[in-house]
A = this chain, B = another copy of it.
Amino acid sequence: MASETPQTDLSSDKPLAERPKEGEAGPSKNALKKAQKEAEKAAKKAAAKAKEAAQKAQQEAAAGEDVSVGFYGELPLIGGPDFKPTGDNRVNLGRAAKEASEGKLSGPVSFRAQVINARQQGAKLAFLNFRQGTDSVQAVVAEGEKISRKMVKFAAAVPVESVVLVKGLLVKTQEEVKSASIKDVEVHVVELHIISRADSMLPLQIEDAERPLPAEGKEEEPQAAEGERPFVGLNTRLNNRVLDLRARQNRAIFRIKHGVTQLFQEFLNARGFIMTQTPKLMGAASEGGANVFRVDYFEKKAFLAQSPQLPKQMLIAAGFERVYEIGPVFRAENSNTARHLTEFSGLDLEMAFEEHYHEVLDVIEEMMLFIFDGLKTRYKEETEIVRQSYKVEEFKLPEKGKVPRITFKEGISMLREAGEEIGDFDDLSTPQEKHLGRLVLEKYDSDFYILDQFPLAIRPFYTMPSSQNQTSSSLPENQTPQSSATFPTPQYSNSYDLFMRGQEICSGAQRIHSPSLLRAQMLAKDPPVNPDGEGVRDYVQGFGYGCPPHAGAGLGLERVVMLWLGLPNVRLASLFPRDPGRVVP
């Protein structure tokens, strides 16, 4: 099979890599053949050398020269023909250290770990630090009955970041260990084998990747102070993401991100939602032609979904009642800011309701509080690890029923009182958004709030006009709102955004479920959207088959993680971020 997921008929297809590449630039076949021969030669040479070394070690052992033979060295390739499984139990370092600290552990344990650093002290001692997950521990290799000087030397020379198999005693220390996360236990090594040797020159030191990036808007690469290591910027980190992701705070960030997805699902599953997968390949640019990626689709063109908006509404029209999706969202936007990605993870939900879209907004609000609460209680340790790097104030949480829910109109008033000049129906700029966030925090003591009833003109065509017929404050007081007997054209809409630390993380609305109103609204947009266009025709028609009133929302997963932790850049919350200038690694 070509790649993991089964799709290809085994009968008809060779692995992808074996197929001829079409029009791809690359080294010539001859060059590769040559390289192939050289690699084979090198491999044979390496194998011969390894065999020789092993024989030499055996000879030395036979001559009684090294008491430690068999206790250290390089393991044969695991999975290769020379490796012999031992069936030994391997422990989790954190748990084993805790047992050792409580006096519940005796005898040596085995564990796999990565080498953080290794150094020799005199001829008889080597000190190492090992990493396993977010735990780290100090280790000593000391010359003794079964530990030769050669073994000490070997230990001190293990390249940083190599994966090793350690057998050792976990011993309580007299003094607190400063250089490791495990403070009261160290390892007295009895065996040490290299499972996977790291290159001796690494393009990025984990130590450097563990230093925080400057806050948004600050200099990217601050000058290093005297004696300090030079600061390593975001680009270098992202270019070497496999190493960068080993930084302790990164391990924690992605456990928290996992947590958000699980809490999201847990909450919605309990309320009868189902997880769905809607297509990312679309026959037409359904939400407008700009900012959409075009795909060569056999003889035609296809487009990458800018959101699951249309299909998720179609599922409501199909009678699914409550759906959610976790999936990639693609935006061909040439924005190079700290909060934009060209591909990010959308947490989308859509729900039929009975009488008022606030039934849905209440669910969303409760869901966010559930997620925050879950992060606070279940991911406390991870959050603390990140806060050790990014010293951001704790996220101020409102209680249930006390989430500030203010109308857009109210928000504008608050901004004006604070000196901002802004029109009634103007969209908020990013600085204005942040300003409003500060005002809400001051007034309500909450880093999370909801802005409801946005102006209709600044929302997409599928947004339900406001039921509240709010009049603008600039409307003369004696002027009555438009009669509701004819189709009203209210200035506001049944739509909302959610904010964390003054930045938008979620946008949603009641959708128009009346096909005639939807058509009218599409045509009323400037420029108008053609309701019979290929990308929207099936969507619009679906509402003509009977559709319940519904509302929903889309959250940006990376933004939730970024703002919960107060990270300075959304890229830090994406494993392999994509932006206009970056599609690798």
A504 contact set on B, CB distance < 8 A: 1, 6, 10
Q: For the complex, give the distance between the alpha carbons of A139 and B365 in Å.
A: 37
A84 smallest CB distance to B (angstroms):
9
**Alpha-carbon gap, A470 to B129, bound state (A):** 40
> Which residues of B lie under 8 Å from residue A525 when comparing CB positions?
17-18
Given contacts A288-B21, A291-B19, is CB(A198)–CB(B584) below 8 Å? no
* CB neighbours of A357 from chain B (8 A): 79
Do A6 and B275 touch across chains, with their CB atoms under 8 A apart? Answer: no
Assess the B281–A343 pair: CB atoms within 8 A.
yes
Q: So how many copies of this chain end up in the complex?
A: 2
Closest to A312 in B: B4
Measured between beta carbons, the chain B residues less than 8 angstroms from A290 are 16, 19-22
* A96 contacts the other chain (CB 8 A): no
12 further interface pairs, Cβ-Cβ under 8 Å (given A7-B333, A20-B289, A26-B533): A5-B329, A11-B431, A20-B527, A21-B289, A43-B520, A78-B355, A78-B549, A80-B484, A81-B490, A161-B546, A196-B547, A246-B319
A6/B287 in contact, CB under 8 A: no
* Chain A interface SS verdict (over half): loop
For residue A356, CB closer than 8 A to chain B, the reply is: yes
> Considering the complex, which residues of chain A in the window 318-332 have a beta carbon less than 8 Å from any beta carbon of chain B?
318-321, 326-332
**Contact between chains at B199 and A11 (CB < 8 Å):** no
Q: How distant is A93 from chain B, measured CB to nearest CB, in Å?
A: 12
The answer to whether B534 and A9 touch across the interface, beta carbons within 8 angstroms, is: no
- In the complex, chain B residues whose CB is within 8 Å of the CB of A156: none
CA distance A460 to B1 in the complex (A): 7
User: Of all chain B residues, which has the CB nearest A461?
Assistant: B17
Kindly identify which residue among B2, B86, B530, B538 contacts A26, using a CB–CB cutoff of 8 Å: B530
Most buried by B among A1, A274, A295, A314: A1
Residue of B nearest to A529 (CB): B17
Residue in B32, B44, B47, B341 whose beta carbon sits within 8 Å of that of A528 in the complex: B32
A428-B17 in contact given A6-B507, A289-B22, A519-B39 (Cβ < 8 Å): no
Q: Determine whether the beta carbon of B334 is less than 8 Å from that of A298.
A: yes
Q: How long is the Cα–Cα vector from A218 to B464 in the complex, in angstroms? A: 47
CA distance A393 to B260 in the complex (A): 40
| A262/B265 in contact, CB under 8 A | yes
How close is A289's CB to chain B, nearest CB, in angstroms?
3
Which among B258, B281, B284, B343 is the interface contact of A279 at CB below 8 angstroms? B343
Pick the residue among B243, B430, B458, B576 that contacts A311 (CB under 8 A): B576
Q: What are 26 A-B pairs with beta-carbon distances under 8 A?
A: A3-B309, A3-B507, A5-B506, A6-B555, A7-B331, A10-B429, A15-B459, A15-B461, A19-B289, A35-B528, A36-B523, A79-B464, A80-B465, A81-B469, A87-B355, A112-B352, A195-B549, A196-B547, A241-B314, A243-B318, A261-B275, A277-B328, A279-B328, A281-B578, A283-B583, A293-B297
Q: Are A427 and B523 in contact (CB under 8 A)?
A: no
Interface residues in A53-90 by Cβ distance below 8 A to B read 77-83, 85-87, 90
Contact A1 B297 (CB under 8 A): no
Asked if A230 is at the interface of the complex by the 8 Å CB criterion, the answer is: no
Q: Is A306 an interface residue (CB 8 A)?
A: yes
Residues of B within 8 A of A278 (CB): 575-576
> Is residue A572 contacting chain B, with contact meaning CB distance below 8 A?
no
Compute how far the CA of A340 lies from the CA of B345 in the bound complex, rounded to whole angstroms. Answer: 26
Instruction: Determine the chain B residues whose CB is within 8 A of the CB of A133 once the complex forms.
Output: 319, 321
Residues of B within 8 A of A584 (CB): 282-284, 534-535, 538
CB pair A432 B11 closer than 8 Å: yes
Give the residues in chain B near A3, CB-CB below 8 Å: 287, 306-307, 309, 460, 507, 554
A570's nearest neighbour on chain B, judged by CB, is B7
